[in-house]
Amino acid sequence: MADVHQKNHDYHIIDPSPWPVLSSLGAFVLALGGIGYMRWLNQSDLHLFGINFVGPWIFYIGLAIVLYSMYAWWADTIKEGREGHHTRVVSLHLRYGMIMFIASEVMFFAAWFWAYFDVSLFPNEVHQVARTAFTGGQWPPKGVEVLDPLHLPLYNTVILLLSGTTVTWAHHALLHNDRKGLITGLALTVALGLLFSSVQAYEYTHAPFAFKDSIYGATFFMATGFHGFHVIVGTIFLFVCLLRAIRGDFTPQRHFGFEAAAWYWHFVDVVWLFLFFAVYVWGGWGAPMAEG
């Protein structure tokens, strides 16, 4: 009779979980709170169902729900892996899921590149009179000073490329059961990620153009800003992996969490290379550069 309930397949039937519903609710509250937050900053109202949702607190409540759901959901996933539920088939499907997620991120950035190349390659498109007014018929638009690509942007490029080597070193150390090398490589990668974000924040505060000044500023800050957001997310991802590595969670045979973080980080590296050459180098070619 005991054999009747024995598991004879490689799939994992998960237990009922509240996290999909709770995370969906949190995402809705976060979106509603974000709109209310922006309305509050513009000193306007947002009335729904007879309630004024203007203010910052709904946004922070939604953010707290989303962050808690993420933590609890991933904690359950880690627990399932420790209990041996991540069989060969389940692990393969986890990898497929991460690949599909990164593919969706590729299309996300393709939209920003599309917008950037659309306005930069066709600054005087005849059927869009407003575009010519925004650009002056040239790219970069008249009167716009650009950032020197061989200054802070090149510095950040070196930082990200170096971080790609340190995370690869950490992965190599993990496969060879070198726990010290794993921890050192991850710590260096996290430090380089923080350094990149700090340099980009400094660059933004000293940029000679603003988001609302021109279409150049709008496309620049949207493309590089969303990449910067991904760097922050990737740094948090790797920091969690660092804490787990210190705790001894990863083994040469079981380390998908780290592998997913490394894939994500390499994706961030590649996107930055495209941004550096397309936005900073090619996009600012021939324009006056800001001093310092």
Domains annotated for the chain, with CATH where assigned, are: 16-85 (1.10.287), 87-292 (1.20.120.80)
pLDDT of residue 141: 81
Tokens read off for 190: 């996290």
**Residue 201 to residue 216: CA distance in whole angstroms:** 18
Residue closest to 48 by CA, chosen among 29, 72, 27, 66: 29
Beta carbons of 276 and 149 less than 8 angstroms apart = yes
Whose structure tokens read 């800050």?
221
Contact 60, 70 (CB under 8 A): no
φ, ψ of residue 55 to 5 degrees: the values are 135, 165
Residue 129 is predicted with a pLDDT of 47
Helix axes 256-275, 152-175, angle to 10 degrees: 160
For residue 264 the two structure tokens come to 């994500």
pLDDT mean values, one per 10 residues, the chain (292 residues): 56 83 95 91 81 87 95 88 81 90 94 88 60 65 84 94 96 94 96 96 90 84 94 96 92 89 96 94 77 60
Please state the pTM of the whole predicted model. Answer: 0.86
Helix (H) or strand (E) holding 130: helix 129-135
Cα distances from 12 to residues 7, 65, 75, 92, 195, in angstroms, run: 9, 27, 16, 12, 40
Contact call for residues 159 and 195 (beta carbons, < 8 A): yes
CA dihedral 219, 222, 226, 227 (to 10 degrees): 30
Is the separation of the CB atoms in 19 and 85 below 8 Å?
A: no
Crossing angle of helices 256-275/88-121, nearest 10°?
10
Closest CA to 252 of 186, 170, 190: 170
